[in-house]
Structure 1
Amino acid sequence: MNPLLCGLAANPALPPELVDRLIALAAAAPEPSGLSDPADFLAYMLVRHLSERADLSRAQVAALAALDEDTPAQLARDGHLGSADVDPAVWPIAALTLLDEGRGLPEWARRFAADPDPSMRRQLASCPGLPADVEDALAADADPEVAAELALWTTSAPVAARLARHPHAAVRQAVAANEAVPPAALAGLLTGHGLPPARSCLVCDCREIPFIHDPHCPDVDCDLPAGAACDGTHGSTVHSTWQRALANPATPPEAVAAFAEHPSVLLRWAVAEHPGLPAEVYARLAGDPVPGVRATVARNPGSGPEVSRVLATDPEVEVRRAVAHHPRIPFDVLERLAPTTRLGPEPLPRISAATPEELAEGAASAHPRLRMLVAHRHDLPPELRDRLAADPDASVAKAVAPHPGLSPERLRAMVARHGQQVLARVAANPDAPGDLLAELARHEPSVRRALREIAAHPNAAAEALLPCLAGGRSRVRAAAHPALPAAVVVGLLDDPDPEVVEAAAGNPSLPPAVMAQRVP
């Protein structure tokens, strides 16, 4: 199989008879030996692209499903197979896929709960909406990994509470992260009160104790995690259980607060993630010697403005950056942080939640960085958006440039004022017209990021796309653009770059006669 055939398999304009021919080619391909072989990987991708087509006939779906064991699951995931089409005895992975998506039948769940293969029972345990009797069976499964998988995903409080008392420590470790566990049971996982001690863990199941796993373990078949240890008290598993329970929002705050000064950095870090602690606990964590703990409490929605004010002056940039990402950081603190801390291109939670008055205040700030943060929010009132588009600072104009609703005249004015600094962001504007995109594509010197944006822009016409074929990622994107002239697309089918070939073969403007010539 080759990239050209993979591209054709994904082409929405591929005629049905050519879809049939590609399915026949896939059926005739040698049995794959593994996806590490490039030829096997291309064959796999061919089947994957064919399975994802929205226009498959029932006969084509049946032909694809007969290719191998995995394709029926893909077809089920993409909506081509439903519960009436799947026999769990023939296509078990497809049946489990439908159960995972809530489209399977209850009797299938009961069948898999009794399957002798534990991997099937583990997959079932992660499916939502299982019948109560199936959850009961999985909770009592002899394989602790099956019960642990259920412990992660069950939404039944009684089942979760029962799993918190499970004799295997790995099941308790899994259930500690589940928010459906009753608070008293989560507290018990931290204190031990009300729960019988665990009798085993994955370490003492397979090693003579006391045992500490060598981080440089030479045994290639060993699947114990680094640091795994047990002396009869299941130490590493209990530590991981505590870590998960401490970060779980459903765990009672008083049980979590007791670990705020624990010697383990990982446990204090988990405490700092909990959103419901008393203010004095967050204040203590704000003084933690480990920057990662301080950064975690700095962005925690449960910590208040006083913590933000303290940590806004932290010597570590990662902590100050975390403060800026707090959803309720006082606006004046954010204004002080913005000029001195790199905060990234994404809208900050506080900016996303700002009132119109706060947005106007930020847009009028003397600090370009704060104006830039406001400009990243792309649902601004039109008058505020237009004011920021005319900002003399290039970073502000660059942030607002992709904002929907900007007129072509304002976009051209931004380019005239700031040049190549804003070119790529202007090209990303969804309202940029075709003639402006053509102007940007011809800009000297050219800007690669701008060409990449133009090559994928729905308003780009041939005049804008042809310069994008100069090279790099823009060439691949332009090869797939339906506005690229058909003659150019045909020429790209023989390009030395296989990604360009696949993109061109998937272009719906490729003439059907050429498609037919290229399918064996």
Structure 2
Amino acid sequence: MSEAADEQARREADEQAQREADEQAQREADERAQREAADPTTRPGRLRELAASPALRRAVAANPSTPLDLLLDLMVQHAEEAAHNAALPLLLLERPSALSERPQSLGALLAIEPPGWLLGLMQSLWSEEVRPRGPFEGSLFHVRFGEWLAQRDDTPPELLGRLCASHWLKTRRLAARNPRAPAEVVELLRAVGDEVVGRSRPPVTPGQLRAAAALGSRGAELVALHPEAPDDLLADLAASRSTHVLEALARRPGLPAALAEPLARGPHHAVWHALAANPSTPVAWLVRYARDGSTYLRRTVARNPSLPAPQRRQLAVDPQAEVRLAAQG
């Protein structure tokens, strides 16, 4: 073999050895990165860096030190790991609206069988649906999980009864179709006029109305509008913390002044708008709404046939065209 050939062979052997050394170093680096991605003591900032590698994202999603925003990003592709991350329930307790802000993450979570803690959380939130739930109430997280629970064959019948009386149309429709939904709840809602389970208004007793009001938001809304609801029950509903129930009560035909007063003094804009549209609202409040700074509120009260003529003339020259049109037509 010539000297040149020997040199070429040595060079190739050296290159092969270097490639093997590089490959071994890369394998060791990858293994270290995997261990680092799975190590709960890894700093959050470092976990963000590691998550840039597709090969490490699954491990980062399962790491309890992963920050919530990164965890929700990873949930889109690695829902199982993120959902079973031991830190997720604590992170959501600190920021319960986070899932509502991430529809893709929420969708990925709903596509898997959720862990027991999450199922328990949502069942507890829906079990007393007429009570306030802070950031959860009405959130995408709350509503979508209600729909999901309504379709399950292992949702407790008592909870399905609550879901049948949800304020949210799709939720109560799905729950009413669930074979495990309590027949007595469905019949009670039908009796007080729910259109989803079948609109019907046979004579109802005060006891039935009270039972319907206790079912949940939708039951209480229907009772608030039911012509046979007794005054003492309406007074109880006026003390509800549910904006949906108060708004329904504010829309009640023939609303007594004694109930209109506390509703008007409350903090809810949706309730004010319902009162502004109700011909039974005391005139003093209609006059006040005609002077309100809200264009929408002035436009609403301008259409109210009970608004006194002087205020109607005032709104007919309102700076806002939509208010003028409402007052004139």
Bin of the TM-score, shorter chain as denominator length: 0.3 to 0.5
Larger Rg: 2
TM-score (norm 2): 0.41
Structure scoring higher RCO (CA < 8 A, sep ≥ 6) equals: 1
